[in-house]
Chains A and B, each alone.
Chain A
């Protein structure tokens, strides 16, 4: 299976762990993620008010690239991008005036043919969901690969590792684009189970981690992350699995700051779910784990569940 893939800016610089493990894991599943030849930042947030032409231009341009690749689906690994792309996709399909405007705006775009070096200014009309569907990696795993097949492909089962699946906001809200039930999602629980881990349900799995407030008001933003990780702890989880680089930053990279403000905070290792996925599929430890991104020690934990490189 080959599918167009949109990484987004963060995955290339600050969340390399997410991209690296994603590519390795899906290669192990014989799914080739073909990165879009031309792409830009999707804008990170969905434009909520006004005529929104500028805000929609970026995501629609990205989706148009996937259409140019001849595909009717595009997958993304970043939860923020998923939210923006999927919302843009639906809104443009639902509003004919918006569709006309954005397509008119983007008609002035130029691309260069790699082979001939010619400038091309012809673009197909992009109609929204009917042209290209946006999938998140989790949906790809559930709907195109199948958790059954995934289970069968697992080489190093996670031996009952107690993982708290943290869904966050952008995959579940607003409900029109949710990839699962917004209050009682199960997709990541099911994924973890098929990898041999034990998903730990916890009440804060869909509460917001404070998002970009950790940049605007760093001290204020610690409380939500503290509550989420503590809740997972209270339910007996050993690790937290996340889908989004900003959640990772808030709940992993800032754990020492959380401890400063909340002395009773124990903290725990946080992984991108794709790191666990890659591990279970037999990808080598160095390919699966983005060591430099983990401020919280993880080697000990991985060894305790028998996950170590045969070569080492």
Chain B
């Protein structure tokens, strides 16, 4: 006979304001198996925990039911208390009489109390059938895979490696650097972006513990925290790293010219190319999608002029698997397509450009060498209009969220424009100016006061071409006037959206996102760098729009979580997973296919001269979801401490008056 203790929490007035806790205690005191029942104002507090600990000892309790809030909040707390008092922690269960009772029945106190009694009784029945369980110990592979080689991925890789662990930095483009390498100067310091990023890129390439895998993609993953198997695809560059000496001769002869991704389509590159001078690794890449044919019969010119013989058309895709203990996802962002903004011309007008295109124009290493010129005729624009919220904060037509960085980078763009074109006019059409970071407000005021940028409060309705000008229709809501600007150049602050390909990748890795495709956090306030799936950590805009300081901070945070994961000798996993009941399982294998993590396999063996079929559960993979139990007609498989009989007795207890 078990000796069960019941502790009913008031949770201040959260529970006690609706549920009559004294009546619950009284009802449970006389319940079979319960040898102690009492209430307390905040059981999760130190004195509350001490109370449970002492009572376990003084009343020789062998199991405990804490009737309080949700197990997702304090199950760990109370199991820890039980363990301290010498019990197996799995002999402690929580009965939720708050979220599932007092909080949702605030108008019906009498009925709420009755329901609370039933809930607690059912958990007493559950605990009665609980067995002692020991956590499953698994080894940890102390290697991290970082997906994405932008500033967030680079920072995470450096921090994990500095903590002494191996890192594979996987980047789908030919070079690391992400978006930050495309920027000219960064707010609020106006630091040259490439100057502050390239040292980190070099550091990453030189770090003995980091392997930089560019032009690679993650194609699949299996396993669980501490023990992942990651399948990587190495895309063929057709140029041998280490052999290529960047002599550039292939550039002169390649006949294919395509828009350059690095220059946001404002300049050209060849089929064989180096994305930018400071690329890491420093090797050319041949883009087979646009190359004439990778074949000396079709072209072959680059190979002919390559003195070190670095070009090899016979390279092929390679797929290989690596083991890792943790994955940091830092896949970054793209801009919302301008073609969706028909009122701003869609993509019709050459002189209506995105913020990223303007960065390339401002950049000293860009298509105009940092001189401000407009794409259509190369003239220096004298009237530039910056349109903020071009798609953001628009639940009706585009994206409902604020993209966070545009107010700041628009102020920066306007300032940099004024620094270079002294007699030019910069107009910024805004709804609000959001400057929440350190030194941000002062930066924006500098744009207005020192650089005389004209801020007009009103969202632009339409933009259209008239002659060689772009006419902008806006309104100044503060003075109540409709306004118009005949601009030479218009720059749109487009919404940030998750990077292309991220959606498919997240589906493959089974990583949940919010409805806009940004990765979900384990808790929006308290666990911002972890994904709810164990072993996955988040860094950068993949989790939501943010600026560089925040991306770096988040990356370091993710790295510290990885280091913590790798710090123990082994990992402990929850033992409440599926277990086969050998006597009952007849190997019908109904449970094999429905298992979402493919943890069940059919096995056959000879026993007593007969062929016995049964199933085997991979304890490393099983998540304890219980689908197998639901499909089994024989009660041959059950999740530990969540058996069918236990559920049935819980239900009986709930339905008994």
Contacts and interface: CB of A to CB of B under 8 A. Distances in A.
A–B contact with Cβ pairs below 8 Å: the answer is yes
Nearest to B349: A203
A234 B469 CA distance: 13
Interface in B332-356: 341-343, 345-346, 348
A172 to B, nearest CB: 11
A231 B348 CA distance: 16
A201 B346 CA distance: 13
Interface in A172-211: 181-184, 201, 203-204
B465 to A, nearest CB: 7
Contact of A183 (B342, B465, B466, B467): B342
A208 B341 CA distance: 19
Contact of B466 (A182, A201, A234): A234
A145 B313 CA distance: 52
A182 B461 CA distance: 14
Nearest to A204: B464
Interface in B314-347: 341-343, 345-346
Contact of A184 (B346, B465, B466, B467): B346
A183 B346 contact: yes
Contacts of A231: 466
A231 B464 CA distance: 10
Nearest to B465: A203
Interface residues of B, number: 11
A73 to B, nearest CB: 29
B577 to A, nearest CB: 49
Contacts of A183: 341-343, 346
Interface residues of A, number: 9
A104 B466 CA distance: 54
A204 B464 CA distance: 9
A184 B346 CA distance: 8
Contacts of B342: 181-184
Contacts of B466: 203, 231, 234
A234 B464 contact: no
Nearest to A182: B342
Interface in A236-288: none
Nearest to B345: A203
A234 B346 contact: no
A176 to B, nearest CB: 12
Contacts of B467: 234
A91 B348 CA distance: 35
A304 to B, nearest CB: 27
A84 B464 CA distance: 30
Nearest to A230: B466
A182 B462 CA distance: 13
Contacts of B462: 203
Interface string B463-500: 01111000000000000000000000000000000000
A181 B348 CA distance: 15
Contacts of A182: 342
Contacts of A184: 342, 346
B469 to A, nearest CB: 11
Contacts of A201: 348
A126 to B, nearest CB: 30
Which of A184, A204, A231, A234: most chain B CB closer than 10 A?
Answer: A184
Interface string A9-29: 000000000000000000000
Contacts of B345: 203
A182 B397 CA distance: 12
A199 to B, nearest CB: 14
A197 B308 CA distance: 58
Interface string B168-200: 000000000000000000000000000000000
Interface in A47-61: none
Interface of B: 341-343, 345-346, 348, 462, 464-467
Given A181-B342, A184-B342, A203-B465, 11 more contacts: A183-B341, A183-B342, A183-B343, A183-B346, A184-B346, A203-B345, A203-B464, A203-B466, A204-B464, A231-B466, A234-B466
Interface of A: 181-184, 201, 203-204, 231, 234
